[in-house]
Amino acid sequence: DLILPIFIMDGKNKRQSIKNLPGVYRYSIDKLPLILDKAVKNKIPMVALFPYTKSNIKDYNGTEALNEDNLICKALRFIKSKYKNEIGIMCDVALDPYTSHGHDGLLIKGKIQNDETIEILVKQSLLQAEMGCDVIAPSDMMDGRIVIIRKALDKNNFKDVQILSYAAKYASSFYGPFREAVGS
């Protein structure tokens, strides 16, 4: 089954083209029905949300990832209120859209801090589940995060929220357009 990626941005009444992904756009939340109505009509079972976070709210620790009014949380609430369970929602779990340095993890003296990052990813996963996410999709590549996220979801009564982990990322020209789309 197709999972349709949707890139979201702040603002109102916006649909912005993505230079390196011809025919693909970023949408403000109020414009999501342009694509969601078509997805539901064509029986696409799930969308994957990716935020384009403004640089002025990114910081070294990616704190916007835990803001219950960030783009992902707003989009989750909007989609669940308008579409109920007509379409599933998958959300990326990682810090790169929110960090000023663009890495998926916390950095101390230039080194990624695995365990400290996982603590934040668990909180991000729980927040997304609380807002209505159906599938948590960690793409951060921190060691051991899946079992810790699963335990936290189960402990907080989100047993039906699934996890779909990205297995690998590559430094290639194929991944570059995606990085532009999310601004990382």
Distance CA(16)–CA(123), nearest Å, equals 30
Question: Is 169 noted as a catalytic residue in this protein?
Answer: yes
Q: pLDDT tens, 2-34?
A: 899 999 999 999 999 999 899 999 999 999 999
User: Is the full-model pTM beyond 0.85?
Assistant: yes
One of 12, 38, 82, 169 is an active-site residue; which one? Answer: 169
* C-beta separation of 103 from 49 below 8 A: no
3 state SS of 87: coil
Q: How far apart are CA 1 and CA 77, in angstroms?
A: 24
Q: What confidence score (pLDDT) does residue 182 get?
A: 82
